[in-house]
Amino acid sequence: MDKKHGETQFKAAHGLLVAFLTLIVVLHALGIYLFTSGFLLTRIVLDHRSECAAPPADGAAGSPQRGCWHPKTFEKAVVVLIDALRYDFTVPQPAEQAHHFHNALTVLHETAVAQPRQAFLLPFIADAPTATLQRLKGLTTGTLPTFVDAGSNFAGTAIDEDNLVSQLRRARKTIVHLGDDTWHALFPGHFDAELTRAYDSFNVWDLHTVDNGVSEHVFPLMHAANASKWDVVIAHYLGVDHAGHRYGPDHPAMAAKLRQMDAVIRDMIRQLDDSTLLVVMGDHGMDAKGDHGGESDDEIQAALWMYSKQPRFGRSSPAYAAPPQTAKERSVAQIDLVPTLSLLLGLPIPFNNLGRPIEEAFIGPAGADYHNLATVSRLTAAQIYRYQEEMASVQSMDEVARASSLASFGFANDAWDAAVKAADAGRFAHVYELYTVYQQETLDICKALWASFDLPRMLNGVTILTLTLVLLAVYARGVAGDVSELSPQLLSRGGFGALASSLIGAALPEVSRQHSIIYAVAMGSNLGIASSFWSLRRRLLFLLPTTIWGYLSATFAILLSVGFAANSFTIWEDEILLHFLSTFGLLSTLSSFRQPNMTDRVLGVYHSVLFVLLSRLASLSRLCREEQMPYCQSTYYASATSSTSATWQLVLPLIVALLLPTFIRGYYDGTLSYQNSAIMWLGFGLRFGLLLSAVYWTLDAADDGEWYPSYGGMLKTLKTVIAQVTLAIAIGVGAPTFIWAKPFLNIEEGPPHTHKPHPSKQIVPKGPNSGASIAVLGYGNVHGSRYAILITIWYLALALVQKPMGAGALALCAWQIFSLLEIVATNQLASSAIGPVILSLMGSFHFFKTGHQATLSSIQWESAFIPLHTIRYPWSPLLVVMNTFGAQILCAVAVPALVLWKQQPRKKGLLGDVARAVATHILFYASVSLATTMWAGHLRRHLMLYRIFSPRFMMGAMVLLVVDLVSVFVAVVGMRVSSLSVAEVFGVTM
Amino acid sequence: MTTVITSSTKPPPPSHPIDVLNNDTARLYTHIHPVLVLSLYAFQFKAIVADPIPALTRTLIPLSILQIAYVAICLPPTGDTATAVPTTEKRKPGDKKKAEKGKLEREVGAKIIPAFLSLIIASAAAIPLLTTILILFGAPLTTHHAHTMLAAAHIAFLATLPLVYVHGVDGATWREIVALLKPVDEVYGGMIGTVVGAWLGAIPIPLDWDRAWQKWPVTIVTGAYAGWAVGKLLGGTLLKGRKIVFE
């Protein structure tokens, strides 16, 4: 009866704890959601392509020969991209006000003034981010790049939406590319293989290699003898950009560079033939230090210049004869290049384009051909309308703004019809204006949708995460006594706060309803929890660490979190984690030497040294990210350029299957816990499962490498079945073992002197009068051994979905976990923060060692197909999550074992200790997640946002949520199972 | 004179911090020494950055001479504890010269030779161990072995040599040293400072500043020197006698 009562009490306390921790998970999720919805700008990429034969507006459909939607003006084009050509570099200045970058590149301004019918020069405004890759996307697709251009090709950098280059290719034009190799990442296979010359864009210290290479090849091409070999030449010069990065703009090296460009362009003008268009432009500008990436005026103000041997261009007003003096006047947007170039070369306008035709290019030499201008504007607007229609069906837009823009389109069309009917040339100027209004409105809608961060949402998200972090820190490290008994109060106040404030949130009128409700609920809940702590303030401890271990834990968490502000520390996170783990191992070695008990000392030193060695061994498994080159060598796959395993790596899962169960058994043997079901599972089930997983990866390699081509289909089926069986062993054998096994105890009977003393044995006299006594084997680690089975079950499932090298790394991780348990036990650190924090570091470290990086491109999507032939929800995403975050999951599962390992069966307050350890573990990831979130938000205009900070933020958020869920629903719930099992024998101890 | 007392005194319990020898030269030189060592390093810094292997190797020689001089002048050799006990006897002016001469000979036997032995032991035992530890902390495994070993050598000369000189090679004593159970003094502080400094020295390595001094192992060695000087100073003054507590 009493036992029953105790059990009920434990279950209730446990249930409330799970509920409270779930509330923390929800708060994390709300904070992350709110920030993400304001930060991660998503644009859905439409796969549609504009067709030559299908103009968007009625009118004569042309042909590729004469021009698709509109008669073409030029046959061919030479497009010169001078990286970072700022507009003011091209405008002459009086000598006394001139900087080094002035009056060096004069040819553009000079020709635009002297030959206004052949040339024009305009400020060319870039959309942020002003990084070359993003700019090239904008300059060729006519749209605004966002972080997540969600399309069919999620992982690669190649542009798969409609763009100028692919339209040229579809029109069977020969495109030659010279210079910056970024183009090849964006448009693989689009350029003429023979004539194209790509150069590495990486070395910003080298001002001349790329430029000299481009010039060396561009001039022979422009020679009349070679004119028939190509249609479009794209020459991308990098020297000006590199001079900016290296010296800054106001430096003699910049002047020299610009003079060199001046000479190049003058040579080109000389060699140009009558049917070829010459375009010179910058993709972005540079700030006063010569860097770029953000959206300051200096960074977005580039220059655009077009030139033709024949009079093709004009000005709509004599006032516009000279190019604008500053970039504030008469500027055009960079996306305007897309329709302009398309129509000048007779191509269809790329489907996603949002730019408008540039007036100077279509107004005619007389500066009055408004009919032509209105025609091209109408075509562009009609294509934008077509795009907008498609877009509205997949992404929700602001209805009011959209209706207004649609009305503008209607007005413009009406005006066009009226002007055509009246055959009144004078009315087309107005028509042109109306189409421009429509284009501008649509562009503004899209910008609001894609290109502006929602700062209030981001700030409120960060506020929620910060407050939750503080409360979690208090819960984990700042309350004296058993925290598990606080659950009812924390839960009720947190819940009440959420309910009460949701009403307030709903009543707030200013911001969007969803935003205000989320914010109010999360804040209310947080305040409720805070009020609960306030009422317990007598029990609160000062949060400053009191031991060297506490300081170490805090140092690791803080250093790592602060370091994420720097791209270098983010890039080299794996090495930093190794450094931290070795530091812990070294300190635990020293600490073990301090132990008075000889057994503890030896065990502690042994496992500490082992821990460090295993970390270093695991560190040999690397998958380098691009930014780590050339200081990193990938070993995860057969070579740096492949994504298949080397043959020798197939041995790794086999070695793991043979050795790891034996090693884990060693830890069980050490506490005499290798009994009953543990023998069955560790000795047989786990080993067999791991062997099957090794077989799977061998079959996979055989299938991939076509070792037996005639058995391909059979291999595929067989390997899938084997993967399914492996998972079935984990779920069907492992899980039941964990749920229903009796504690791993055994009994030895005999006279007292026959029992050798052992810390894990309990020797009790058999009866009052009997001379014999009973030894209970495994007594000293009954909780730990019982719980740790759960780690091995998860290990089996997670190991299957890792590549062979990853299986090796994850095995080292599992081995390290058990060593850590011993270190913690022998150094009496079960209640310290260091154990859970080291598990977090290990989870993060082995994330890298299982072939991952904080980049989208390192996600191993193919792991979804290990036990399945096709994509199935929810299993496929779950498998990818297990593959990606396998290490973090395994380490999160292991957290309760830190408290339970080598713990006496009747130890009091274990539930509270587990709650504290789990909360500490989560706390580490929460602080990393908050830090990466804040840095990403703060550095939202940083050059490296898209490459480094955003991916790291996304990873931090994902990891936090995954670890949250695993900690609460696997670790804490698992602890209930093992505790109840131990209670069957020893009774419930709260 | 001192040796007479030594022979009749028992070694002090290991929990006493090491004191600098009780004479004016020792008390003065112990503060000049770090200045000399740091100046040596600063003087060699450019060469070390330009080409670490030869420069670090070259610097080891003056460093070892300075360290030997330091331990011989300032520190009590292992087993010699009288110097830790304040000598209160007054010397007669007439004894001085005679004693000086005998002292010099004894000094060589009692100090210079143990100092050299400490150098050899520190090199033989500590350099391989420290090299291994550096590699475990992430130093390149397959390349840069000479670099890593030289970094280990500098750390060993800075941190281990004086420790061997004052504590000898007794296993139980070294367990206490490794376990950080000894009270802090300038030798112990110097060792801890060297290790912490070398640890902190790893921080600037990943930064993308493209500076020559970021190359392996310049930052580690620089951190070790700076940490040694700070640790030695604090260990000999502010923190002297403190015990390191883990819990």
Instruction: Give the ipTM of the model, two decimals please.
Output: 0.88
Chain B: closest CA distance from residue A828 (Å)? 10
Residues A429-444 have pLDDT tens digits of: 999 999 999 999 998 8
Whether residue A540 sits in one domain with residue A496: yes
| For residue B86, pLDDT beyond 90 | no
Two tokens at A730?
Answer: 């984990």
Do the chains contact at A578 and B245, CB–CB below 8 Å? no
How many distinct structural domains can be found in chain A? 5
Any chain B CB within 8 A of the CB of A612?
yes
Do the chains contact at B206 and A572, CB–CB below 8 Å? yes
More confident residue, A480 or A644: A480
At A175, which CATH number? 3.40.720.10
Judged by DSSP in three states, B211 sits in: coil
Is residue B91 very low, low, confident or very high in pLDDT (cuts 50, 70, 90)? Answer: very low
Which range, A184-188, A250-254, A286-290, A612-616, has the best average confidence (pLDDT)? Answer: A612-616
Chain B: closest CA distance from residue A479 (Å)? 18
Do the chains contact at A575 and B138, CB–CB below 8 Å? yes
Whether residue A353 sits in one domain with residue A300: yes
| Closest C-alpha among A954, A930, A31 to residue A518 | A31
Q: Which of residues 65-84 of B touch A (CB under 8 A)?
A: none
| Closest C-alpha among A297, A290, A232 to residue A258 | A290
Q: What is the pLDDT of residue B9?
A: 39
Any chain A CB within 8 A of the CB of B179?
yes
Judged by DSSP in three states, A644 sits in: coil
Residues A303-360 have pLDDT tens digits of: 999 999 999 999 988 889 899 999 999 999 999 999 999 999 999 999 999 999 999 9
Residues B212-222 have pLDDT tens digits of: 899 999 999 99
Q: What is the pLDDT of residue A612?
A: 97
Any chain B CB within 8 A of the CB of A578?
yes
Whether residue A320 sits in one domain with residue A373: no
| Closest C-alpha among A130, A138, A78, A88 to residue A108 | A88
Residues A237-262 have pLDDT tens digits of: 999 998 887 777 888 889 999 999 99
Q: CA of A551: which chain B residue's CA is closest?
A: B246
Any chain B CB within 8 A of the CB of A602?
no
Two tokens at A349?
Answer: 């306008």
| Closest C-alpha among A903, A712, A912 to residue A17 | A912
Any chain B CB within 8 A of the CB of A621?
no
Q: Which of A547, A594, A619 sits opposite B179 (nearest CB)?
A: A594
Q: What is the pLDDT of residue B102?
A: 66
Do the chains contact at A593 and B178, CB–CB below 8 Å? yes
Any chain B CB within 8 A of the CB of A594?
yes
Q: Which of A547, A566, A612 sits opposite B207 (nearest CB)?
A: A566
Q: Which of A569, A616, A620 sits opposite B136 (nearest CB)?
A: A616
Do the chains contact at A579 and B179, CB–CB below 8 Å? no
Of A729, A754, A777, the residue at which a domain comes to its end is A777
| For residue B109, pLDDT beyond 80 | no
Do the chains contact at B179 and A591, CB–CB below 8 Å? yes
Torsion from C-alpha of A749, A755, A758, A763, nearest 10 degrees: 50
Q: Which of A549, A579, A594 sits opposite B138 (nearest CB)?
A: A579
Q: What is the pLDDT of residue B5?
A: 37
Q: What is the pLDDT of residue A989?
A: 74
Burial track A346-382 (b if 16+ CB lie within 10 A, e otherwise) = bbbbbbbbbbbbbbbbbbbeebbbbbbbbbbbbbbbb
Residue with tokens 């019809």: A417
Do the chains contact at B175 and A593, CB–CB below 8 Å? yes
- A764 lies in which domain range? 744-777
Q: Which of residues 558-577 of A touch B (CB under 8 A)?
A: 566-569, 571-572, 575-576
Neighboring chain A residues of B182 at a CB cutoff of 8 Å: none
Q: Which of B133, B181, B206 sits opposite A575 (nearest CB)?
A: B206
Do the chains contact at A593 and B206, CB–CB below 8 Å? no
Of A302, A332, A360, the residue at which a domain comes to its end is A360
By DSSP bridging, strand A301-307 and strand A276-281 are antiparallel
Q: What is the pLDDT of residue A641?
A: 64
Q: CA of A204: which chain B residue's CA is closest?
A: B210
In angstroms, rounded to a whole number, what is the distance separating the alpha carbons of residues A190 and A694? Answer: 41
| Closest C-alpha among A592, A2, A974, A284 to residue B178 | A592
Q: Please report, as a single letter, which amino acid is at residue A970.
A: V
Q: H/E element holding B198?
A: helix B186-201
Q: CA of B178: which chain A residue's CA is closest?
A: A590
Whether residue A100 sits in one domain with residue A22: no
Please state, in angstroms and as integers, the Cα–Cα distance from residue B105 to each residue in A464, A850, B13, following that order: 75, 64, 29
Q: How confident is the model over A282-292, as a mean pLDDT?
A: 83
Q: Write the CB contacts of A141 (distance below 8 Å, at least 6 apart in sequence).
A: A159, A161, A162, A163, A164, A338, A350, A352, A353
Is residue B99 very low, low, confident or very high in pLDDT (cuts 50, 70, 90)? Answer: low
Do the chains contact at B137 and A569, CB–CB below 8 Å? no
Any chain A CB within 8 A of the CB of B181?
yes
Whether residue A673 sits in one domain with residue A657: yes
Q: Which of A579, A586, A593 sits opposite B179 (nearest CB)?
A: A593
Please state, in angstroms and as integers, the Cα–Cα distance from residue A9 to each residue in A2, A488, A784, A912, B6, following that order: 10, 13, 22, 14, 69
Is residue A283 very low, low, confident or very high in pLDDT (cuts 50, 70, 90)? Answer: very high
Residue with tokens 């183009």: A183
| For residue B82, pLDDT beyond 50 | no
Chain A: closest CA distance from residue B241 (Å)? 18
Do the chains contact at A548 and B208, CB–CB below 8 Å? no
Q: CA of A617: which chain B residue's CA is closest?
A: B136
Two tokens at A866?
Answer: 């290990």
Do the chains contact at A576 and B206, CB–CB below 8 Å? yes
Instruction: Please compute, for residue B35, the number of CA atoms within 13 A of its CA located in the half-sphere on the CB side.
Output: 5
User: Comparing A285-289, A304-308, B95-99, which segment has the lowest mean pLDDT?
Assistant: B95-99
Whether residue A226 sits in one domain with residue A342: yes
| For residue A448, pLDDT beyond 50 | yes
Is residue B90 very low, low, confident or very high in pLDDT (cuts 50, 70, 90)? Answer: very low
Cis status of the peptide bond prior to A123, with omega within 30 of 0? no
User: Comparing A41-45, A601-605, A920-924, which segment has the lowest mean pLDDT?
Assistant: A41-45
Any chain A CB within 8 A of the CB of B180?
yes
Chain A: closest CA distance from residue B41 (Å)? 26
Do the chains contact at A619 and B175, CB–CB below 8 Å? no
Judged by DSSP in three states, A852 sits in: coil
Two tokens at B173?
Answer: 């004593």
Domain extents for chain B? 2-7+21-87+95-236
Chain A: closest CA distance from residue B116 (Å)? 28
Q: What is the pLDDT of residue B111?
A: 82
| For residue B84, pLDDT beyond 60 | no
In angstroms, rounded to a whole number, what is the distance separating the alpha carbons of residues A49 and A209? Answer: 37
Chain A: closest CA distance from residue B183 (Å)? 14
Do the chains contact at A612 and B180, CB–CB below 8 Å? no
Whether residue A327 sits in one domain with residue A178: yes
Of A360, A389, A412, the residue at which a domain comes to its end is A360
| Closest C-alpha among B111, B119, B101, B107 to residue B79 | B111
| For residue B8, pLDDT beyond 50 | no
What rounded mean pLDDT belongs to chain B?
85
Residues A551-594 have pLDDT tens digits of: 999 999 999 999 999 989 999 999 999 999 999 999 999 999 99
Any chain A CB within 8 A of the CB of B208?
yes
Neighboring chain A residues of B178 at a CB cutoff of 8 Å: 589-590, 593
Neighboring chain A residues of B181 at a CB cutoff of 8 Å: 594
What rounded mean pLDDT belongs to chain A?
90
Burial track A657-669 (b if 16+ CB lie within 10 A, e otherwise) = beebbeebbebbe
Do the chains contact at B136 and A612, CB–CB below 8 Å? yes
By DSSP bridging, strand A773-777 and strand A746-750 are antiparallel
Two tokens at B95?
Answer: 């004894």
| For residue A846, pLDDT beyond 80 | yes
Whether residue A399 sits in one domain with residue A262: no
- The number of C-beta contacts closer than 8 angstroms across A and B is 56
Helix H, strand E, coil C: the string for A931-952 is HHHHHHHHCCCCCCHHHHHHHH
| For residue A155, pLDDT beyond 50 | no
Any domain includes A71: no
Q: What is the pLDDT of residue A294?
A: 67
Any chain A CB within 8 A of the CB of B93?
no
Do the chains contact at B179 and A572, CB–CB below 8 Å? no
Is residue A152 very low, low, confident or very high in pLDDT (cuts 50, 70, 90)? Answer: very low
Q: How confident is the model over A657-664, as a mean pLDDT?
A: 96
Residues A741-782 have pLDDT tens digits of: 999 999 888 877 777 778 888 888 877 777 778 888 999 999
Q: Write the CB contacts of A90 (distance below 8 Å, at least 6 apart in sequence).
A: A105, A106, A108, A109, A121, A303, A305, A323
Neighboring chain B residues of A579 at a CB cutoff of 8 Å: 137-138, 202
Cis status of the peptide bond prior to A874, with omega within 30 of 0? yes
Do the chains contact at B206 and A567, CB–CB below 8 Å? no
Do the chains contact at B179 and A616, CB–CB below 8 Å? no
Any chain B CB within 8 A of the CB of A548?
yes
Contacts of A641-644 spanning 24+ positions with Cβ under 8 A? A644/A701, A644/A704, A644/A705
Chain A: closest CA distance from residue B79 (Å)? 24
User: Comparing A52-61, A223-232, A661-670, which segment has the lowest mean pLDDT?
Assistant: A52-61
Q: What is the pLDDT of residue A946?
A: 74
More confident residue, B247 or A701: A701
Chain A: closest CA distance from residue B193 (Å)? 15
Whether residue A759 sits in one domain with residue A730: no
In angstroms, rounded to a whole number, what is the distance separating the alpha carbons of residues A664 and A651? Answer: 20
Whether residue A393 sits in one domain with residue A340: no
Q: What is the pLDDT of residue B4?
A: 37
Is residue A505 very low, low, confident or very high in pLDDT (cuts 50, 70, 90)? Answer: confident
- Residue A168 near residue A209 (C-beta atoms within 8 A): no
| For residue B2, pLDDT beyond 80 | no
| For residue A149, pLDDT beyond 70 | no
Percent of chain B with pLDDT over 70: 83
Percent of chain B with pLDDT over 90: 65
Q: Which of B136, B175, B246 sits opposite A548 (nearest CB)?
A: B246
